[in-house]
Structure 1
Amino acid sequence: MRNESITETVVWAVAEAKGVDPLDLDAPLYDSVDPDALQRILDAESFEGQIGFSLAGCDVTVHHDGRVVVAGGAEAAASEPSASPVSQG
């Protein structure tokens, strides 16, 4: 399990869903969401919801407990929509 920030977890999860290297994503994270603001929101003890946004053609949901769910990607283009849950470690 990787020890990484939530922003790294998001990038890795989207790259995995698309079947590419994280450096090969066609859009940087900061084009979709402010990475520092995302981290601050999730670090707030009072936050109990989820944040959703699109990144590189995928729908991303980040839950208050650090779970990242990615819908779309390479599998979805070939068949039906998929969701790839990834837990932050």
Structure 2
Amino acid sequence: MIKFILPIAALVAAPALADPLVFERDGLKVVGTVDVQGDTRVLRGEDRVSGSQFDLRVKNGYVTGVIDGQRVGYPVPKARPVQLASR
């Protein structure tokens, strides 16, 4: 479950309307939605590899919610630097 922590940092700045959430990282294949409710970002979806479902809320630098039926809560991690390939 901890693998969800790293991608969350990139999603805090996600668009304001419910948008599709699709990414592959660290062996995860995540699909879901990102929605904004007031000053809270709501992330819902599942990991297609394990079938784990998640319902997370990000507010004031903290993530709370449920991953695969288990309650979680942790500070939003700092974003990892992104390295772009060039020609």
Q: TM-score range by the shorter chain?
A: 0.3 to 0.5
Q: Give me the TM-score of the superposition, normalised by structure 1.
A: 0.40
Highest relative contact order (Cα 8 Å, sep 6+), 1 or 2? 1
More helix by proportion, 1 or 2?
1
More strand by proportion, 1 or 2?
2
